[in-house]
């Protein structure tokens, strides 16, 4: 097997948390192939997340042209057109090694479309993606960060230095400094960020329970709280603020750059299995993740696995085939409704008392 590759493609198209978890794989490739050209194939909605990453030479957008959005039933058409466009483009680039971190049928097909003689992916047959690989990797560790690293380790050997190097832009840092000063949080003053909403309702914890936690942070630890979310999360964040009664600060609808710059600063971040918690963990923050139907052994914020709070009694939803019945009408997960604030508060207190939460 060749020990050096000059033109490498990494495939990981979505989602936000998974892309963040894949950054150490890109760093490991750059360390092992310092002079090679490394490209990343990604969905256009996540391009900005990795722009300027020091491990990458190029970002390739995996989506169909913009005019496809004007076509009825565009989703199916877009998938077809994007594959043919990208397949042609990828073959023309003459990649000599492809790492498919997505390891699904579409990404496996794109890896095969490159014509590369070395195509590496997981030995996971959920969507028959291994049919497209020349080299298959087996999982070396249950956590998703190691899950992706195992793909590149199939070629470069064991990776011990796990780093993310998520870009934090200077303009966003200045904007966040102003934003925090306007809310009475001066430079160096400790505070906590709480992200009470995820993109999928089955991962959400009730707002009134987040309110109990926010109140505890203020009354027990004298820590101000910043509630973050998208504009569509306003109702949930306002409910948390109203029920907490401690006037937490709402920061909603900020740019991705500003969110990253904000999450670089808090003493502690509390959230769900969602983008903000994983962003914070890549930046080295201590993160308390609240988990229900998703498994913290696989997805807990990297470096803060000991802070994950998990409640997963065997409900009917989790016993259905494939353990992923999110879209089935009438089926809902009940585990997070059984998780009490006291369990989260106990973890917060343990963390604060241990002095492991870094400012």
Indicate if the pLDDT at residue 86 is higher than 90: no
Q: How confident is the model at residue 331 (pLDDT cuts 50, 70, 90)?
A: low
- Comparing C-alpha atoms, which of 273, 336, 190, 237 is closest to residue 15? 273
Q: Is the pLDDT of residue 210 over 70?
A: yes
∠ Cα 105 109 111 (to 5°): 120
Residue 317 has pLDDT above 90, yes or no: no
List of domains in the chain: 7-156 (3.40.50.2000), 170-354 (3.40.50.2000)
Has residue 326 got a pLDDT over 50?
Answer: no
For the segment 101-113, the average pLDDT, to the nearest whole number, is: 92
**pLDDT at residue number 322:** 42
Q: 25-39, 97-111, 332-346: which has the minimum mean pLDDT?
A: 332-346
- Per-residue pLDDT band for 19 (boundaries 50, 70, 90) equals very high
**Residue-wise pLDDT tens digits, 258-278:** 999 999 999 999 999 999 999
pTM as predicted: 0.88
Give the whole-angstrom CA distance, residue 40 versus residue 119.
Answer: 14
Confidence of residue 145 (pLDDT cuts 50, 70, 90): very high
Edge-to-edge, what's the strand order for the sheet holding 192-195? 249-252, 225-229, 192-195, 268-272, 287-291, 309-310
């Amino acid at each position: 097997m060749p020990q050096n590759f000059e033109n490498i493609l990494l495939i990981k198209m979505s989602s936000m948390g998974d892309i963040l978890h894949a950054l150490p794989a890109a760093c490991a490739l750059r360390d092992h192939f310092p002079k090679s050209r490394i490209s990343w194939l990604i969905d256009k909605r996540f391009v900005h997340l990795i722009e300027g990453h020091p491990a990458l030479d190029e970002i390739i957008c995996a989506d169909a042209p913009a005019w496809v959005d004007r076509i009825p039933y565009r989703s199916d058409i877009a998938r077809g057109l994007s594959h043919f466009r990208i397949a042609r483009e990828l073959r023309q680039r003459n990649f000599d090694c492809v790492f498919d971190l997505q390891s699904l049928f579409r990404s496996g097909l794109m890896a095969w479309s490159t014509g590369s003689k070395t195509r590496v992916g997981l030995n996971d047959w959920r969507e028959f993606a291994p049919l497209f690989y020349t080299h298959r990797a087996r999982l070396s560790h249950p956590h998703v960060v190691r899950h992706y690293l195992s793909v590149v380790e199939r070629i470069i050997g064991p990776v011990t230095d796990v780093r993310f190097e998520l870009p934090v832009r200077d303009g966003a840092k200045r904007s966040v400094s102003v934003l925090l000063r306007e809310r009475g949080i001066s430079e160096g003053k400790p505070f906590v960020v709480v992200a009470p909403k995820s993109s999928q309702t089955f991962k959400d914890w009730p707002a009134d329970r987040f309110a109990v936690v926010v109140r505890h942070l203020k009354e027990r630890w004298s820590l101000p709280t910043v509630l973050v979310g998208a504009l569509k999360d306003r109702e949930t964040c306002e409910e948390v603020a109203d029920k907490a009664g401690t006037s937490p600060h709402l920061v909603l609808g900020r740019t991705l750059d500003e969110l990253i710059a904000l999450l670089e600063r808090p003493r502690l971040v509390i959230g769900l299995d969602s983008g903000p918690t994983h962003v914070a963990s890549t930046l080295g923050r201590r993160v308390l993740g609240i988990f229900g139907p998703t498994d913290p052994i696989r997805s807990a914020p990297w470096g803060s696995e000991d802070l994950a709070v998990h409640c997963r009694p065997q409900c009917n939803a989790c016993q259905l085939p494939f353990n992923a019945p999110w879209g089935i009408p009438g089926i809902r997960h009940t585990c997070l409704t059984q998780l009490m604030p006291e369990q989260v508060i106990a973890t917060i207190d343990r963390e604060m008392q241990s002095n492991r939460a870094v400012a």
